Amino acid sequence: MTNLADRLHHDFEPETNQSGNRTFGEVVNARLDRRNFLRGGLGLAVTGIFAGPISACSSLPGAQAASSSPTLGFDPVPVSAADTVVVPEGYEAKVIYRWGDAISGDFPAFAPDNTGEDQAHQAGMHNDGMHFFPIEGEDPWQGSSTDGLLVVNHEYIESRYLHYGITQGTEISSWGTPGHEGPRDSGQVLKELNAHGVSVARIRDDGNGNWQIVPDPRNRRITGLTRMEIAGPARGHAKMATLYSPEGTHTRGTLSNCAHGVTPWNTYMAAEENWSGYFVNHDDTLPREHARMGVRTDVSRHNWHLAENGNDGFVRFDASTKADSPAGDYRNEPNTFGWITEIDPFDPDAAPVKRTTLGRFAHEGVVFAPAEAGKPVVCYSGDDSVFEYIYKFVSDGLYQPGLTRGDILDSGTLYVARFNDDGTGEWLPLVYGQNGLDESNGFTDQGDVLINTRTAADIVGATPMDRPEWGTVDPATRAVYFTLTNNSRRTEDQTGSANPRAENRYGSIIRWNEADGDQESERFNWDFFVLAGPQGDSRDANGEALDENSVFACPDGLWIDADRRLWIQTDISDSATNQGPYESLGNNQMLVANPDTGEIRRFLTGPAGCEITGVVTTPDRRTLFVNVQHPGANTSAADFAAGNFASHFPDGGNAFPRSATIAIRRLDGGIIGA
């Protein structure tokens, strides 16, 4: 039984998969002998699930970019509990901007009592996925390395800091909201919604590694209130109709934008992850579109629907059926969330578009395989909740460089992954009329299948995973890597006696290659790149334990750069870092790996209580951008009241902490990580 405080926490992962599908743990058990793993012995069964070193282009027909193996040329940094960003010797890290720094409009200065209107022109909170779009560049790897549009997701808020002008001196927890029981102050609700979403801001390097926001007509905030188009098979569906859009073609806002994606046509994709907690539905029986996503019947995270002024944009977060409303109600509002939202950073007038072909679930992010002219567009997305799935999309249309735009995503096939014991896997199509996705299971059409993606995946027999987070595709080998961050709720009963990781606290990175090197294939071959954890409870790609320079847990962010360095970021819960099983692992961190040799080295450690997330370089790989999310979230309610913050990052002194984007460079101007 979880208590209310847990359920209001942003990281609460409602367990809603009752399908009984065979879990990934059970699949792994069939390949991995527990005794060998726990003894630290290199049994055959252990090594059997690692492919060992692979070399670029060796055995993979279809691999395009011939590329050499990347070097890791820096001295690793040790684990750290210090309240600062630590980078290797010869590197420096500088803050670009923090939550509340102005990016657009009349550039309102940051202050603890900024209004909701101010917040609509300032960077949102809790920076997460991001991408650097070189200015005037169609090719992300060819444009400027000193001038571009930085697009950043703002995943969620910490109310006590957002409203510090009100909360100062009061005892309030990390997930508390002032006046949560309602009626909610409408000005606060506006500020909360405007602190979510996405920022587009032009940034420029002054030549000395000092990046600054510069005014630009493309600078804009996309928030929880921005008007959005709905595209693909769910557009116009009866289950998308609301009082705001009776035709089911539009909605307002994107929320819980965790990781992101970048399309081959150079637009930005914002994923909607833990959005269901923002809604409430008081009906006696919830439709499966709500229940399978974890919409609650009692309260919502911030109770926005209790805003005192009754603003339509706020009350819509109550999705209860209102039989007495002649014009309709917001029973379908939650169905307009859980998608991937496309944003064109170069066109400030373009409405964001929710691409419904990519499915509706707790999208961590989306990752595109390198696009090839004359072939379909292929992308992958993980559903980050316990016992959820990994998906792949293949477009019907064929990619035409310079011509293809986002509407190619409006038609195609969404697949879900089944991982088999023997290291093979299958992509199971989620197509109306196939494999039981028809009236016998309550589906009326393809839009309905997509609105109920999780339920459809249950029915076709997908493999429940341990919280899939970011993915990335190696441009040389086309291997797809995904982080599986942890799943402490997996019990012995669910996994069986041979499970090496009942209560999987440390997570892993899995990888696969599509069969025959064909990105459209419905078959694949998988293994582990790393089983994360402390030294005695981990394995790298060669089956060796991680050492002091490479131990980590709860991998989340993952990105391979143009030189094929594999960047790994961690998200041990803010309340768990440096405690219990994580005690030896320090603050959250970023490491870099060589995907060919399996070598892993720690590159960065973050401040107290933060998560390290979001990673991208400039095209020349000489600046690397990283986000520090929720520093100081581990401050207790009592310490908050006393002004005793666990972190003062980035401003230092007695300042309260603020999420921030930082730029890292080498003092000698060299390539990051080399």
Binding site for ligand FEO (CB under 6 A): 155, 258, 273, 364, 384, 469, 556
Site pattern 559..578 for Ca ion (x: CB under 5 A):
------------x-------
- Closest to ligand FEO by CB, 364 or 474: 364
- Which range touches Ca ion (CB under 5 A), out of 52-60, 179-187, 465-473, 575-583? 465-473
**C-alpha dist (Å) from residue 416 to 174, 523, 536:** 35, 11, 34
Q: Cα-flanking dihedrals φ and ψ of residue 92, to 5°?
A: -140, 150
Question: Shortest Cβ distance from residue 572 to ligand FEO (Å)?
Answer: 12
**CA–CA distance, 336 with 46 (Å, rounded to integer):** 44
Question: Shortest Cβ distance from residue 10 to ligand FEO (Å)?
Answer: 8
- Closest to ligand FEO by CB, 556 or 599: 556
- Closest to ligand FEO by CB, 193 or 362: 362
Q: What is the 3-state secondary structure (H, E, C) of 636-666?
A: CHHHHHCCCCCCCCCCCCCCCCCCEEEEEEE
Would you call 114 helix, strand, or coil by DSSP? coil
- Number of C-alpha atoms within 13 angstroms, CB side, residue 663? 25
Q: Does 13 bind Ca ion (CB under 5 A)?
A: no
- Closest to ligand FEO by CB, 275 or 399: 275
Closest by CA to 291, choosing from 249, 251, 319, is 319
551 binds, among Ca ion, ligand FEO, none (CB under 5 to 8 A by kind): none
- Please return the burial class of 669, using the count of CB atoms within 10 Å of its CB with bins 0-12, 13-18 and 19+: exposed
| Residue found by looking up tokens 């590329």 in the block | 67
118 binds, among ligand FEO, Ca ion, none (CB under 5 to 8 A by kind): none
**CA–CA distance, 36 with 32 (Å, rounded to integer):** 8
273 binds, among Ca ion, ligand FEO, none (CB under 5 to 8 A by kind): ligand FEO
Question: Shortest Cβ distance from residue 362 to ligand FEO (Å)?
Answer: 8
**CA–CA distance, 140 with 129 (Å, rounded to integer):** 16
Q: Does 556 bind Ca ion (CB under 5 A)?
A: yes
DSSP code of 231?
Answer: E
The count of chain residues that interact with Ca ion, using the rule CB under 5 A, is: 5
Question: Shortest Cβ distance from residue 611 to ligand FEO (Å)?
Answer: 8
Question: Shortest Cβ distance from residue 180 to ligand FEO (Å)?
Answer: 22
Contact by Cβ (8 Å): 183, 171: no
- Closest to ligand FEO by CB, 273 or 289: 273
Question: Shortest Cβ distance from residue 266 to Ca ion (Å)?
Answer: 23
- Closest to Ca ion by CB, 33 or 469: 469
Residue nearest to Ca ion (CB): 571
**Residues belonging to the chain:** 674
Residue nearest to ligand FEO (CB): 258
Q: Does 383 bind Ca ion (CB under 5 A)?
A: no
Question: Shortest Cβ distance from residue 571 to ligand FEO (Å)?
Answer: 6
Q: Does 448 bind Ca ion (CB under 5 A)?
A: no
- Closest to Ca ion by CB, 26 or 556: 556
- Closest to ligand FEO by CB, 192 or 273: 273
155 binds, among ligand FEO, Ca ion, none (CB under 5 to 8 A by kind): ligand FEO
Q: What is the 3-state secondary structure (H, E, C) of 486-551?
A: CECCCCHHHHCCCCCCCCECCCEEEEEEEHHHCCCCCEEEEEEEEECECHHHCECCCCCCCCCCCC
- Please return the burial class of 323, using the count of CB atoms within 10 Å of its CB with bins 0-12, 13-18 and 19+: exposed
Site residues, Ca ion (CB under 5 A): 258, 469, 556, 571, 611
